[in-house]
A and B are shown apart, each in its own frame.
Chain A
Amino acid sequence: MIKLERRTSIGWFAQLSAYVIAIGLGLLVSALLIIASGASVAEGFGALYEGAFGSSEAILQSLVAATPLIFTGLATVIAFRAQIWSIGQEGQMFAGAMAGYWASLYLGGAPSFIAIPLIILAAMVGGGTLSAFSGWLKSRFEVNEIISTVMMNYVIVFFLSYLLAGGPWTEAGTTSYNQTPILAENFQLPVMASAAKLHIGFLLALIATVLCYLIIEKTPLGFELRALGYNPTALRFKGTNVGRTVLVVMFISGALAALAGVSEIFGVNYRLRGDVMVGLGYTGIIVGMIGGLSPFGALIAALLFGALTNGSLYMSVLSDIPPALVPAMQGILLLFFLCTSVLVRFRIRIKRPAHD
C-alpha cells in the first residue's frame, strides 16, 4: 500500500530545488514531444527563447501577453484559497469585456480619464456579478460551483456570439468577422511603452497582485477566506456568515477575471471580439495552480506563460514546430508542478499490507 505522510517541516532550499527540477523535467518531456513531431529541439527552443526574450521589444510583448493571465491567475488564487473551485474565469473575463464595452456605448465623447475608469468599473461589476451568482447558487442551494461556473462560461460565450454575429453589437456592414466596430481612441487603455503597446493594464495587474496579497494575508476578509477554505464549520461557530463570505470571495474573483477581458479588448485589440480571449481564463487556472495559489507565485507563473505564448508565435514562424505544442507544454509543466507540490508537502511511504 502506498501512503502519503504529511511532512512536518519543509526547507526553502528543498522547495526551490523541487520547482527547478519540475521546470527541467517539463522542458525535457516537451523536448521529447518536439522530437516526436520531427523538428529540431535546439532550433525550437532557440526560437522560443528568441521570441520571448530575444529583444527588448520581445520582452515587452511577453509582458503584454502575460497581463490577462495575471488577472485570471489572481482570480483563481482568490477563489481556490477559499477552496471554492470556480472554473468560471473564462466566462467572467468575457462578461467583463462585454460589460466594459456596454458601458463605453453610453460614454460617447467623454475624456479618457473619465471613460476608462468607468469602463473598468463596469467590467468589474459585470464579471463580479456573474461570479457571485454562482457563489449564491452554492451557498443558497448547495449547487456545485464547478458545474455552475462551467455552465455560465458557455452561456456567456454564446451570448457574445449572438451579439456579434448579426446581433445588435455587430459592426455595420459585416457579419462574418464577428466583431464590433473599432473603439474610439478615448476608450483605449493608455500605452506605457509604444514599442510593443504595453498598456496600463500591466501596471494594474502588478497593483492587483500586491492588493491580492494584502487582502489574503493581512485583512480580516483574507483571514475569513483562508479559514473558509480550511474549516468553514469553525468559522461559522465563531460567528462569521459563511454564505456572505462566499459571495464576497466570488465577486472579487470574478472582478479580477473581468480585468483580463478589459486588458485584451481595450488594451490590445481595440474592438470586442471573442476569439482573442478564448482560453485565457482556463490558462489562468493553470497559472494560479503553478503559482502555488499565492498572488506573487501566480504573477511569476503568468510571466512565464506569457513568455511561452509570445515566444511560440516566433517559434511557429521560424521552425517546423506546430503552435499546438505550446498548450501541450503548458499542460506538461502543470503536471510536473502539481506532482512537485505534492512531493514537497508529503513523504511517500510504501507499506506491505499487514496480514491479520
Chain B
Amino acid sequence: MAVPTLEARKLSKSFGPVRANHEISFAVNAGELLCLFGENGAGKSTVSACLTGLFAPDSGEILFKGEKIRMKSAAEAIKLGIGLVHQHFVLVPDFTVLENIIIGSERSFAVPYVAAAAKLRKLCETYGIEIDPNAQVRDLSVSEQQWVELLKALYFDADVLILDEPTATLDIENSKKLFQIIDKLKADNVALIIITHKLDEVMQSDRVVVLRQGKVAGIRDTYATNPEELTQLMVGRDVSETEKTRTPVGAPRLILEGVTVAGKGNVPDLDDVSLTVHEGEIFGIAGVAGNGQNPLMEVIAGVRNPSKGRISLDGLDITDLGVQEIMAQGLGHIPDDRFLQGLVPEFSIAENLILGRHRSEFAKGNFIDQTKMRDHARTDVAAFQVSAPSINTPVGNLSGGNAQRVILAREFHLSTRVLLANQPTRGLDVGVIEYIYERLLEKKAAGVAIILASAELEDLLTLCDRIGVMFQGRLVGIVDTASSGLSEIGLLMAGHETRLAS
C-alpha cells in the first residue's frame, strides 16, 4: 500500500484544562476525500489547525509523505504543500483577487504580477472557476470570496488541502460546484480533508473520521456506513434508550406565525418560523449554533423586529412591542453571549441585577433606589448561590458560572409567563449545568412556557417535551421527545429535512 500523504499519530492538544484533542490518529491518501465529522467543539478545527501549523500539538506526530515534520507556522505548512481553506475568510477587502492570492509569496521587492496572473488564469480554467483576478475582494459575493480562499490554497500547489466547513457560506448550487472541483482535485492526486457537519456532504466523502469530545470515535469507509450509524457515533449514545417522565402541558401560551427576520443580504436571518409553546412546556431548539437560534430569541424578546409574521403571548399581539413592554408581560430572556448581551461586565452584581428595571421598579423619584437595589441583590445572591466577595463586585470578575447565575436571577424574576434560554449552559461545568436545569424545571412546574436552545442534544432530550430543529434560519422539523430519539434529530440537524416523517 502506498504511503499516506498526511498522517496524524496520537495528536493531543490541550488549552488549559480543556482537552481539545486527545490521541487523534488518522491518515489521508493521495486522491482521497476524508471527512472529519463531529459536533461543535468535538475538536475538528483544532486538529486541522495542528495539521496546518497554526497550533503546535502537545504530543504526537505528523507525517507528511512518510516523513516526520514539525511546523512552526502556517507559512511552513504552505511551503510543504499543506493548504487550509478557512471557515472564516481571511482576505484583505481592499486588495484585488490576485493580490490576495499572492500575499506572502513575494520573495523580493518585485512582485511577479504577470507570472502570477497567468498561473491564476490557468487554475481558474482547470477547475472551472469564473472570477476576475483584478476585481476588488470587497466587491465580491460571499461565494466568490470562498472561491478566492480556495484559489489561494491551490495557487501554492498543495498536496494536501484541508477545507474547514467550506459550504457554510455557499448555496446549494455553489456547493455542488465545490464538490465538482473536489472531484477534479482527487483526480489530480491531491489528498483532501473536509470538515463538515452536514450529513449529505459526509456521504460524498471516501472515508469518515468521527470525532467526539476530542477523541476519534470511529473511522468508517463511507460506502460501508450510513447516516444513522454516523450520528450515533457523533453523539456517542445508543439512540433507543431515552425515556423520560412527562408532565402534562397546558394551553398555548406563546404563538409564532410565519415569523421572518430580515438578514443583511438577501438571505433572511429567520425564515418563516411558526411554533407554539404551551404553559408548562419546555420547547427545545436543537441545531448547530448560528442557524437562527439568536434571531428567534431576539425577535420574541423584542430586541429585533420581524419583517413578516405575528407573535402573540397569551392572546396579546406582541409583534410590534418593544423590549420593555414585552418584558412587562412576564418574559425573561437569557441571551446567548452572557458577557456581551447579558451583562455589563464593569457593573456590580447589584447593578446588573436591576438592568432593564432601573427606570421602573428600582427608581424612586429621579433617583435609583439604592437601598432597594442592595436588598434585592443580597436576596438574589443568596437565592441563586452566586459566590462573590460582595454584591459590589464587578460581574466581569466572576467566573462564567457565577456570571450566568446573575443573569438567571434577573431573568427568572421577569419570566412569570415565558422564559427564553439561549445556550444557558455553554462553557459551564457540570455542577452549574445541573443547577440551571433544576431551576428550569421549577419554572416549568410553575406553568412558564420555556424555549431552550442548546448544543447539548442529550440534555435537550431529557428536559424538553418537544424539540424543534433549526437549520439555516428555518425550523426544519419538530419532534416529540417521547416518540423519537437522537438519530432523528441528528439527521434533521445535518439538513436531512426530507427524511422527516412529521
Chain A contacts to B: CB under 8 angstroms: 8, 214, 218-220, 223-224, 226-227, 230-231, 233-240, 356
Q: Inside 8 A of B335's CB, which chain A residues have their CB?
A: 237
Q: Inside 8 A of B327's CB, which chain A residues have their CB?
A: 238-239
Contact of B322 among A218, A233, A239 (CB under 8 A): A239
Any chain A CB within 8 A of the CB of B249? no
Asked if B344 and A237 make an inter-chain contact with CB atoms under 8 angstroms apart, the answer reads no
Asked if A234 and B340 make an inter-chain contact with CB atoms under 8 angstroms apart, the answer reads yes
Known contacts A218-B367, A220-B368, A238-B356; A231 and B344 CB within 8 A of each other: yes
Q: For the complex formed, measure the closest distance between the CB of A252 and the CB atoms of chain B, giving whole angstroms.
A: 14
- A239 vs B410: C-alpha distance when bound (angstroms): 14
- A227 vs B343: C-alpha distance when bound (angstroms): 9
- A239 vs B341: C-alpha distance when bound (angstroms): 12
Within 8 A of A (CB), among B255-291: none
Q: For the complex formed, measure the closest distance between the CB of A217 and the CB atoms of chain B, giving whole angstroms.
A: 9
Q: Inside 8 A of B372's CB, which chain A residues have their CB?
A: none
Q: For the complex formed, measure the closest distance between the CB of B109 and the CB atoms of chain A, giving whole angstroms.
A: 28
Asked if B351 and A223 make an inter-chain contact with CB atoms under 8 angstroms apart, the answer reads yes
| Size bin of chain B's contact surface | 20 to 34
Q: B358-366, B427-435, B469-477: which one contacts chain A?
A: B358-366
Q: For the complex formed, measure the closest distance between the CB of A347 and the CB atoms of chain B, giving whole angstroms.
A: 15
Q: For the complex formed, measure the closest distance between the CB of A213 and the CB atoms of chain B, giving whole angstroms.
A: 12
Can you give 20 contacting A-B residue pairs, CB < 8 Å?
A8-B397, A220-B358, A220-B359, A220-B368, A223-B351, A223-B368, A226-B344, A230-B346, A231-B343, A233-B341, A234-B342, A234-B344, A235-B355, A236-B303, A237-B303, A237-B333, A238-B327, A238-B356, A239-B324, A240-B356
- A233 vs B342: C-alpha distance when bound (angstroms): 8
Asked if B340 and A239 make an inter-chain contact with CB atoms under 8 angstroms apart, the answer reads no
Q: For the complex formed, measure the closest distance between the CB of A34 and the CB atoms of chain B, giving whole angstroms.
A: 41
- A224 vs B56: C-alpha distance when bound (angstroms): 45
Q: Inside 8 A of B345's CB, which chain A residues have their CB?
A: 230-231
Q: For the complex formed, measure the closest distance between the CB of A249 and the CB atoms of chain B, giving whole angstroms.
A: 16
**Chain A CB within 10 Å, residue with most, of B301, B351, B359, B363:** B359
- A223 vs B351: C-alpha distance when bound (angstroms): 8
Any chain A CB within 8 A of the CB of B302? yes
- A230 vs B346: C-alpha distance when bound (angstroms): 7
Known contacts A219-B367, A224-B358, A356-B72; A230 and B347 CB within 8 A of each other: yes
- A240 vs B356: C-alpha distance when bound (angstroms): 7
Asked if A230 and B323 make an inter-chain contact with CB atoms under 8 angstroms apart, the answer reads no
Q: For the complex formed, measure the closest distance between the CB of B353 and the CB atoms of chain A, giving whole angstroms.
A: 11
Chain B contacts to A: CB under 8 angstroms: 56, 72, 298, 301-303, 322-324, 327, 333, 335, 340-347, 351, 355-356, 358-359, 363, 366-368, 370, 397
Chain A residue at minimal CB-CB distance from B373 = A223
Asked if B397 and A227 make an inter-chain contact with CB atoms under 8 angstroms apart, the answer reads no
16 extra interchain contacts, Cβ-Cβ under 8 A, other than A220-B363, A223-B368, A239-B356?
A218-B367, A220-B368, A223-B351, A227-B344, A227-B347, A227-B355, A231-B343, A233-B341, A234-B341, A234-B342, A234-B344, A237-B298, A238-B323, A238-B356, A239-B302, A239-B324
- A269 vs B3: C-alpha distance when bound (angstroms): 90
- A233 vs B336: C-alpha distance when bound (angstroms): 12
Q: Inside 8 A of B72's CB, which chain A residues have their CB?
A: 356
Q: Inside 8 A of A8's CB, which chain B residues have their CB?
A: 397
**Chain A CB within 10 Å, residue with most, of B72, B335, B358:** B358
- A224 vs B327: C-alpha distance when bound (angstroms): 18
- A230 vs B56: C-alpha distance when bound (angstroms): 36
Q: For the complex formed, measure the closest distance between the CB of B230 and the CB atoms of chain A, giving whole angstroms.
A: 35
- A51 vs B412: C-alpha distance when bound (angstroms): 62
**Chain B CB within 10 Å, residue with most, of A224, A236, A240:** A240
Q: For the complex formed, measure the closest distance between the CB of B363 and the CB atoms of chain A, giving whole angstroms.
A: 5
Asked if A233 and B347 make an inter-chain contact with CB atoms under 8 angstroms apart, the answer reads no
- A224 vs B363: C-alpha distance when bound (angstroms): 13
Asked if B355 and A238 make an inter-chain contact with CB atoms under 8 angstroms apart, the answer reads yes
